[in-house]
A = this chain, B = another copy of it.
Amino acid sequence: MKATDVALICKALGDSNRLQIIELLSTGEKCACKMLEKFEITQPTLSHHMRILRECALVNERKEGKWTHYSLNCSTLSAYRDFITGLTCDAATQKECGC
């Protein structure tokens, strides 16, 4: 995963509502109408956030009749996790802070 993709994902997660949405979706696929109940935002605002989360490929969307179901995109999430996991302090910095 490229650094620009990572930055885009970080920007998406940099909003508290969107981070909470991701945490909610980590418990499983959710319908937009159910998600709306959990947040103090209007329906258009939720729709806006979901578009941002989709555009950076963090979430998938599944339409079923008039409902839209959202779920985490496993591969994007895991690539992102791998990138962040790779961000570590060098040996000297670690020695300095004693961690």
> Contact between A87 and B97 (Cβ–Cβ < 8 Å)?
no
How distant is the Cα of A23 from the Cα of B88 in the complex, in angstroms? 9
Total chain A interface residues with beta-carbon distance under 8 A = 42
Copies of chain A in the complex = 2
User: In the bound complex, do residue B23 and residue A87 qualify as a contact, i.e. CB atoms below 8 Å apart?
Assistant: yes
Question: Quick one: given A88-B77, A89-B77, A97-B73, are A16 and B4 in contact (CB under 8 Å)?
Answer: yes
Whether A26 contacts B88 by the Cβ 8 Å rule is: yes
Complex Cα–Cα for A27 and B97 (A)? 15
Question: Which of A7, A12, A75, A87 is most buried by chain B, counting CB atoms within 10 A of its CB?
Answer: A87
Residue contacts A-B, CB under 8 angstroms, 18 given: A4-B16, A7-B15, A7-B16, A7-B19, A10-B10, A11-B11, A11-B14, A11-B15, A14-B14, A28-B92, A60-B97, A71-B93, A74-B93, A74-B97, A74-B99, A77-B88, A84-B85, A85-B85
